[in-house]
Each structure stands twice: as C-alpha cells, then as structure tokens.
Amino acid sequence: MGNRHGGRRLAVFGLAVLGMAVSLMIGGAASFGAAPVKAPLTAHLAATTLASAQAGEIGLSFRFHRPSSRFSLLLERRQRAKWLPLRSVTLKGRFTGVRRSTVKKVFGNRAVRTGSYRLRLSSDAGSVSLRFSVFAADAVTGATGVSAGGTLTCILVANGGVECWGRNSDGELGNGTATSSKTPVTVSGISGAVAVNTGYKHACVLFGTGTISCWGYNKVGELGNGTTTNSSTPIPVNGLSGVVNSASGAAHTCALLASGDLYCWGDNEVGELGIGTLNQREPYGISLPTHVSEISNAVSVSAGFLHTCALISGGSVECWGYNRDGQVGDGTINKVRPYADPSPVRVSGITQAVAISAGAFHTCALIAGGSVWCWGYVVSSDFSVGQLLNSAVPVQVAGVKDAIAISSGGVHTCALIAGGTVECWGANEFGQLGNGNTLDSAKPVTVKGIRNAVAISSGGSHSCAVLAGGAVKCWGRNEEGKLGTGTLTTSSVPISAVRPPVGVH
C-alpha cells in the first residue's frame, strides 16, 4: 500500500518487538519513493503503525536502474550521535529491475526498540539511505461498542464519541479527510452517541436524542439526507426523530422508531428497503427515509449486504430483499433475476427470538435460552458430515449454547457466550474465526485469548470484540488497516487495536 497517513511510514513485519507497540516513520523526503530514472538505485518502505502483539516486517521495494552484480543492506540504530550497526547482509548475483522483500527475509528476527533507525541499501552503481523512527503506542481503551463493516471498523467510546479506522477513500471514517488510517481517528463533531453501525463504505450514529447522522459513500442515497453526494463528515438524516435502533447494510440504512415503525433508505435494486417495489434503473436507491408500511411492531432491525430483517414484538422475524440463497428464511429461494422479495415475509419457525443479525447472504437469530438458529448461504453446522450447509429455513447451530449476542459477517458468524468467550463458524479464508488457522469450520470454534468480551461485531471478512474495561481486539482480513492494529497484516488470532502517540499518525 502507498503512504496514506500524511507522514511517511514503514510497514514492519517479523521483527521481535519486546513489550511495546511501535510506530515506524520514514525521515527524509529525499530518500522516500522513486527517484529520477537516472539514479542507479531507488527504494521505499511501506507505511504503518505497529502493535506489539503483531510485530511486523518492513516491506521493502527497490529498483535497480542499472544492472548490478553486488547488493548490500545495512540496518543501523542511532545512539546519541553515533549510528550502531545491527545487521548487515551482502548478496551477489545479477540484480535488475524491481525487487521486493521484507526485513524478516533479509535480516531475520531482530529485536526493535524505540529510537531512530537507518536502512542503507548499496549496489555496484550507488546507494540509498532510508531513515525511520520507532515510537511506543497505546492499546485502545474506553470503548463501549464496536461495529465491523465491509472496509472499516468503528467504536463507540465512553464519552459518546466515535472513532473509526480502515478505508477512507469515500469519507467513511468521518474525520473530514479522504485519508485511510490503520489506527483510530475521531469522527468529527460527534458527542452524545449511544450506538454506531457500519455498512460497506458508510457509517451511521444514533444519538441519545433519537436522531441519526451518517457519513461516507452516498451514491444511492444511503446517508438519508436527500442527496447522492458523499460526505466525509456526519450529516443528519432528514426528518427522523424518536429513533431507538438503526442498522447499515452494504448500501442502505434503516431506522426503528419507538413506535415500532421502520424507515429505510438507500439502495433498493433488489428490494432491500422493504417497500414492495424495486429500483431497477438508475438511480437505484431512495435518498430519503421511506416508511416500511408492512412493519408496525418491530423491536430491532438488522441490515445485511442486500437484505434486511426485523425482530417483531413477541419473538418472530420478518425479512426482505435479495433471496437467491434463502436468506429471507421463509423456505423459498428466488432463482429468477433480480432474486428479490421486496416486501417483508415471515421467517419460518422462529417464535422466541431475542436478537437478530443479517450477514452478507445469511441471517441468524438468537433464541431465548441461548441457542442460535441461522438460514441462507453456508450458515449451518452438521457434525454428522462435517460440512457447511445452505438452508432456506432456520436450522439450529449445533454446539452453541448460552449465547447472549450474535453477529453475522460476510460468510461467517460469531456468538458472544455468557462468561465472555466468543465462538465463530463458517468461512475462514482470512482467519476471521479467530482460532489461529484459516480452515473453514462447520463447527463453532472458540476465538483464541478472548475471555472477557462484552460486545462483538462481524464484518465482511473480519471480526472484533470489546473487552471488559474497553479494550478492542480484532482478527481476520486487514486490507487498508481495518483491524486497527497499525499494520496491513491479516491475523487469524485477536490483535489489540492501538492508538499512536500524539503527533504520530
């Protein structure tokens, strides 16, 4: 990844950092990035902020503009006025064009302390010197809630503010910029928030006053302000008050009022707004809150990638939208384009639900007593054959009991268990099940090292938990830094989200 944080930084992997989180920053503009083609050798280092539990490696890219038969690297650390060599490597062969490597591959594991460093690269025809500094960083504390989206993650903090991290090309971090961040940034102008929810590239916050504001991508009206213009700062949703619950899908948003009425806005190409019609031509969405007239007594709402579900007073569930995989749960699968059920339908057999969670192409319900039932794409566990199964009607997830919260992600689901442990199942290509490997699992597996979680959230390909005391740990895919660990390193075990020191980004 390129530099996305204003200051120049390094990506560091595989270095043994002892008892601290670190941030790596390149010094010296002349040594960073591509030099004129006439230069014999140019080099740059990728950017990151680093957590101690995930000491990473410096991602190194260098280009030989002239053929070279000898190449050397020297890593030095500054001590007072002197540069002390830590490791040197000399390589012989034919070196031409672009080469990429990492510090781990070149130097092996070396302890890195806070301080100033210099990496010198030399070839037959010239040399380059890259400098960086290592700073201590602090683990995130004070979180009271978390929402893992498609390309970002947001947390609610104790003072009613919101912090987000990850991709920001469409303003989805809400801090008035388009600069992505691998560590938390503060969403502009938010106080008094009681909940935050993230979609694929947008996010919304619910205030204690019963109003909602949203920010980020808005091409189909998912911000609910009557426009289709992106916003990098929060904008109030038009005309809503008395909101008690809200949810963001891939490109649509819904809000539940205290009266039990439900309003949705944004993308409606496959009926995810639940208003009985589809928007099959541009614009595909509706940019103002629209009443879901067939829902009048809902107690919560959950928005999936292209479908939506409402928990109804008394414990039943109704869903609508995209249904090619049976995610609306009424026993049907729509095999004809646009594969949609644009009006709410009753989910079969669910009568005692206390919570619901809509994922990308599946849905789950938490049942009174702590069991979990799911329906849709690869949602159920069958121990007799050890496979993930599809189902157009709810099936019980075997082995899960005493659950107190659930969260459905892309093709995986996690449950918070009474006592503070977390169990996940489903797809695991990026380690989003958190059990230390990348093998899919039909059987719920225990997330490693999580024993005192108080809240969970599953995103498209990552998951996060808030621990007692307000620390945040995430695991899974980490493109553009959505784990909040200061790196781009995917992790199959939970890693602490960190805040860099003041002045270091």
Do 115 and 186 have their domain in common? no
Whether 96 is covered by a domain: the verdict is yes
The stretch 69-74 carries a mean pLDDT of 89
Residue 1 placed within a domain: no
Strand residues in 208-333 grouped as ranges (E): 212-216, 231-236, 243-248, 252-257, 262-267, 285-291, 298-303, 307-312, 317-322
- Residue 226: is its pLDDT beyond 60? yes
Picking from 114, 110, 166, 200, the residue whose alpha carbon sits closest to that of residue 487 is 166
Q: Which of 79, 106, 138 marks a domain boundary?
A: 138
If you average pLDDT over residues 415-421, what whole number do you get?
A: 98
Strands (E), 259-306: 262-267, 285-291, 298-303
Domain that holds residue 206: 139-499
Return the number of other C-beta atoms located less than 10 Å from residue 387's C-beta.
12
Give the residue among 320, 334, 408, 314 at the shortest CA–CA distance from 365.
408
For residue 118, the model assigns a pLDDT of: 84
Residues 118, 164: one domain? no
- Are 130 and 161 members of one domain? no
Domain's final residue, options 111, 138, 165: 138
**Which residue did the predictor score with more confidence, 350 or 101?**
350
- Side chain identity at residue 131, one-letter code: R
- Contact, 350 vs 317, CB < 8 A? yes
Q: What integer is the mean pLDDT of 213-231? A: 98
SS3 389: strand
Does any domain span residue 3?
no
d(CA 220, CA 284): 6
Rg (CA), the chain: 24
Which of 96-105, 386-395, 483-492 shows the lowest mean pLDDT across its residues?
96-105
Q: What is the mean pLDDT of residues 165-191?
A: 96
Same domain, 207 and 245: yes
Express each pLDDT in 101-120 by its tens digit.
765 565 565 555 667 778 88
Helix (H, G, I), strand (E, B) or coil at 208: coil
Q: Does residue 4 form part of some domain?
A: no
Domain count, the chain: 2
**Do 62 and 210 fall into the same domain?**
no
pLDDT for residue 491 is more than 50: yes
pLDDT attached to residue 502: 60
Same domain, 483 and 374: yes
- Among 138, 156, 172, the domain boundary falls at 138
Q: Which one is predicted more confidently, 385 or 471? A: 471
- Of the listed ranges 109-123, 198-212, 213-227, the least confidently predicted one is 109-123
How many percent of the chain have pLDDT more than 70? 82
Q: Are residues 273 and 409 in the same domain?
A: yes
CB neighbour burial string for 440-450, b if at least 16 within 10 angstroms, e if fewer: bbbebbebeeb
The whole-number average pLDDT for the span 145-166 is 96
Strand 472-476 relative to strand 252-257: parallel, antiparallel, unpaired? Answer: unpaired
- What CATH number does the domain containing 468 carry? 2.130.10.30
pLDDT at site 134: 66
Q: How far apart are the first and last CA of the chain?
A: 15
Which tokens hold the place of 67? 């053929």
Q: Report which DSSP code applies to 330.
A: S
Residue 9 forms part of a structural domain: no
CATH code assigned at 91: 2.60.40
What mean pLDDT comes out for the span 12-41?
36
Question: For the residues of 132-189, what is the DSSP string, one character each?
Answer: EEEEEEEE---EEEEEE-SSEEEEEETTS-EEEEE--TTSTT-SSS---EEEEEEPTT
Residue 438 in this model has a pLDDT that exceeds 50: yes
DSSP, residue by residue, 65-100: EEEEEEEEEEEEEEETTEEEEEEEEEEEEEEEEEEE
pLDDT (mean) for 230-250: 98
Across the chain, mean pLDDT equals 85
Higher pLDDT, 5 or 238: 238
Which whole number is the average pLDDT over 384-410? 85
In a domain, 10, yes or no: no
How confident is the model at residue 387, as a pLDDT?
57
**φ and ψ at 107, to 5 degrees?**
-110, -20
Same domain, 477 and 341: yes
Element (H, E) at 381: strand 372-382
Q: Using pLDDT thresholds of 50, 70 and 90, give the confidence band for residue 501.
A: low
Q: What is the mean pLDDT of residues 40-51?
A: 63
**Whether residue 477 is found in the same domain as residue 366:** yes
- pLDDT number for residue 117: 78
Same domain flag for 411 and 268: yes
| Same-domain check for residues 318 and 416 | yes
Task: Provide the 8-state DSSP code for 34.
Answer: P
Does position 7 have pLDDT exceeding 60, yes or no?
no
> What is the average per-residue pLDDT within 6-31?
29
User: Both 73 and 163 in a single domain?
Assistant: no
pLDDT at residue 6 tops 70: no
- pLDDT of 216 reads 98
